[in-house]
Structure 1
Amino acid sequence: MGRGNRFHLAIIPLLFLAFIGFMSTPVKAAVKSYQFNIQVKNVSRLCHSKPIVTVNGLFPGPTIYVQEGNRVLINVTNQAQYNMSIHWHGLKQFRNGWADGPVYITQCPVQTGQSYTYDFNVTGQRGTLWWHAHIFWLRATVYGAIVIMPKQGTPYPFPQPDFEFNLLLGEWWNNDVEEVVKQGNKLGLPPKMSDAHTINGKPGPLFPCSEKHTYSMEVEKGKTYLLRIINAALNDELFFAIAGHNMTVVEIDAVYTKPFYN
């Protein structure tokens, strides 16, 4: 065999390997980025005003909208006087458990004046989850929704709703929550019960100074609404119903379920 033929035979496997390498290059996941600024803000409820810890000055905090398969980057900058960590409640965290958020377990806290970026993938989940502070009792005000949409072109396994609403059920204390916890520990008792339950940070109309500040939804007769309901209360199991209406449960903790009716 001539030298030129040997050269051609040697280069063919290299070209073949290069072609296989090109064909097997994985498609990069779309990246969703968010900025969380931990800030103290004065908020009034039940005729009382007090400073609370918030994300971006919002109570509840911002909703994270992602799609199944996305990579998510969330940069947390702590401008409050408390150490901070954020837990992404219910996310499976495949291959990125270090981003789960429980302080002193998967990470050190984000100290005042410092930043930390959470980097995780959303894999095999679709539906509703939530995020919250995972240090002290700061999740009384530091929390928000996570909405995971199905992959492009994948429909819901139930009739398409006309509209969607996020409903975050929470609690409100007139006093500083950390002081409430300290007082309970000093007495050897559970912390004092909250002064009100809230929907999207607002108490019901029967509480003081609340009649004009209650959360409400405008709906249209005959339309179907998907309600993403999250129990963000610290201590209580809560039940939800709408008078005169039937509801169908279609998903629980980012897993579709066989529809059942109440």
Structure 2
Amino acid sequence: MIVVNNQYPGPLIEANQGDTIIIHVRNDLDSGTGIHFHGINQIGTIWSDGVPGITQCPIPSGGSYTYNFTIQQQSGTFFWHSHLGNTQADGLMGPLIVHNPTDVYIRGRDYDHERVLFISDWKHLTAQTIINGTFTEPFHTKYAGLSLPDSILFDGAGVFNCSQAPTNAHCQQKPLPEIQVQPSKKYRFRVINPGTEAFLTVSIDNHPLNIISADETEVLGPFGIHRVLVPIGERYDFIIDTSQGKAGDAFWLRAQFCAPNFLAVPPGDTGLGLAILRYVEDGMAPSHQLPTTNDWSHPHVNATSCPDLTSDALVPAIKAEAPQTVSSTWFLDSVIGFPLTPQNVTILDFYFNNVTWTNLPYDPMLFRMHKGLSLNESIVAHTVFAQSGAADIIINNRDVTIDHPYHLHGRAFYIVARGQGALTPESYAKLPPSSSVITRTTYAILRIRTDEPGVFALHCHLGLHLVHGKMAAIVVQPQAIQNLAIPDAAIHLCDSCNFPPGVTVNTPGHG
């Protein structure tokens, strides 16, 4: 496990909109790292986006680096995590909350208390062990089994059945994680799924959920729903009313992993993580009684079923109109492939436009563009939006058995259309204003503004998909990138003295 300041999850970063955040990172790991602030747009500080190979070189083992950026025009629920070698899966992450006095939902009026809740998948094998296995063992015998979590963790705590532990393994049975609340109050839960493999459906027995925020966007419901799917990298805020019982009562808080991205689910594996929501009063003696409550009966959720909220159900509380005209478009076809390694082992790789990303952590794309160089189209699918304005990114998901939680760095976007099938330039031009319900083989059109120069990552947030190449890049205003005032400290991370022995700018690494 990787811990930050001796804790997992790492420490909460809490700020107000307009604050400048300064984070000193000392890397005591044996390998390089970088810290990404998930959802933060980094306006004017793209070099602080924290992605080795894209916007920085790794912070070397034994070295230090300081991130310095201002939160502009954003508030809500975010988190931070490492962005190299899937070490996020080993624990290198924590929450980031940004407040704003003009938020629609205000503490003291709309709710009494708030609680950040990290719910994630966990595996006993380290990320590097899993990565090594997926590159050296045949796909059909290795990859599928390693895609299943061993546990579901609530704020870093969870339970594993010690009877299933390997022989001679040290396993101590722990009590279930517990969240204490007072009766007759309203609690805002900021639920974050920082995991790397599992979509999670979250519910609390007897407690309807009133959704008030999706990622950083405040929304007008839906209210009174029984459960919400939180894909990897996403966040939902909801309010519950703790008037369902009295002090001493307890209810199950459930996190169910679902399997559109798992290629094998062992028989009898329910994929259910449990925590306890317990009603307490000040000075009350602690109780260890387990809940006896039942799950909501509808809709049914299990390890192979995970109903999602549709975007039509999520109405922004503050209306924001997408740009009406675009100056550029980019079509991305998402596919999987089964290449052979030099050892003639068939593995699973992920592609955008028939390119699987090869990460060069010590030759970051932002710095190449800053020097006036171009990107290598054979190692990363990318596009250039040269002028200010707006652009459409059309993503065709041709991976018929896999749902991808795509994440775009540094740019807010509008979903202006989505539907079944795949879009060509011709069919894109003929699109009607409305679109059909999303399914696995889908298109989605993301409309972004192109008024902030930089290199922005677009990738799947499933850890092993990223490691196996599911990354693309967007270059905005390349001429302006050459004029960016990148701090010397960021540039010096790429000095050869910070490279591990035997590593050069052409040495590939895992995303």
- TM-score normalised by L of structure 1: 0.74
Deviation at 1:182, TM superposition (A): 0.8
Alignment of 1:71-220 (within 5 A): 71-140=20-89, 141-151=91-101, 154=102, 156-157=104-105, 159-189=109-139, 190=143, 192=146, 193-204=148-159, 207-208=161-162, 212-220=174-182
Question: Partner of 2:205 in structure 1?
Answer: 243
C-alpha distance in structure 2 between counterparts of 1:258 and 1:162, whole Å = 19
1:37 corresponds to = none
- Give distance in 1, aligned partners of 2:57 and 2:83: 11
Residues 57-94 of structure 1: per-residue CA shift (max 9 Å, x gap) = 11111110010110111111101112110000001111
In the other structure, the counterpart of 2:276 is: none
Task: Report the AA paired with residue 81 of structure 2.
Answer: H
**Pairing partner for 2:18 from 58, 69, 78:** 69
Report the counterpart of residue 232 of structure 1 in structure 2: 194
Distance in 2 (alpha carbons) for counterparts of 1:210 and 1:70: 43
C-alpha separation between the residues in 2 aligned to 1:199 and 1:118? 28
Task: Report the equivalent of 2:183.
Answer: 221
| Structure 2 spans left out of the alignment, 5+ residues | 163-170, 226-511
Higher relative contact order (CA 8 A, sep 6+): 1
3-state DSSP class of the match of 1:148?
Answer: strand
Residue identity opposite 2:202 in structure 1: F
Q: Which has the higher strand share?
A: 1
Count of aligned positions: 208
Deviation of residue 188 (structure 1)? 4.1
Aligned residues of 1:94 and 1:123 also touching (Cα < 8 A): yes
* Cα deviations by residue, 1:157-198 (Å, 9 ceiling, x for unpaired): 364321111111112222222102211221143361221111
Tell whether the 8 Å contact from 1:162 to 1:225 is kept in structure 2 after alignment. Answer: yes
Once the two structures are superposed, residues 108-152 of structure 1 have per-residue CA deviations (whole angstroms, 9 ceiling, x without a partner) of 00001111111111111111011100000110111111111114x
Q: Deviations over 1:3-32 (max 9, x none)?
A: xxxxxxxxxxxxxxxxxxxxxxxxxxxxxx
Write the distance in 2 (CA, Å) between the matches of 1:88 and 1:219.
Answer: 29
Q: Aligned partners of 2:202 and 2:187: how far apart in 1?
A: 15
Q: Residue 183 of structure 1: SS of its match in structure 2?
A: helix
What pairs with 1:41-56 in structure 2 (closer than 5 Å)? 52-56=1-5
Deviation at 1:259, TM superposition (A): 2.3
CA distance in 2, matches of 1:149, 1:136: 31
Contact between 1:161 and 1:224, CA under 8 Å: does it hold in 2?
Answer: yes
* Contact kept in structure 2, 1:250 and 1:259, CA below 8 Å: yes
The answer on whether the counterparts of 1:150 and 1:156 sit within 8 Å (CA) in structure 2 is no
- Is the Cα contact below 8 Å between 2:48 and 2:55 reproduced in 1? yes
* Partner Cα distance (2:174, 2:65) in 1: 39
Distance in 2 between residues matched to 1:88 and 1:215, nearest whole Å: 27
* Shift of residue 97, structure 1, vs aligned partner: 1.0
* Matched residue SS, 1:182: helix
How far apart in 1 are the matches of 2:178 and 2:104?
Answer: 26
User: Are the structure 2 counterparts of residues 101 and 188 from structure 1 closer, same or farther at C-alpha, using a change threshold of 3 Å?
Assistant: farther
- TM-score of the superposed pair, with normalisation by structure 2: 0.39
Letter in 2 for 1:72: I
How far apart are residue 155 of structure 1 and its match? Answer: 5.4
For the residues of structure 1 that align with 2:175 and 2:126, how far apart are their CA atoms? Answer: 21
Distance 2:172 2:73 in 1: 41
Contact 1:172 1:197 in 2 (8 A): yes
Distance of 1:186 and 1:73 partners within structure 2? 40
- Give the aligned residue type for 1:157: Y
Rounded to whole Å, the distance in 2 between the matches of 1:235 and 1:187 is 19
Amino acid at match of 1:176: T
Deviation at 1:211, TM superposition (A): 5.7
**Distance (Å, rounded) in 2 between the aligned partners of 1:64 and 1:238:** 24
Distance in 2 (alpha carbons) for counterparts of 1:210 and 1:242: 27
CA contact (8 A) 2:149 2:198 kept: no
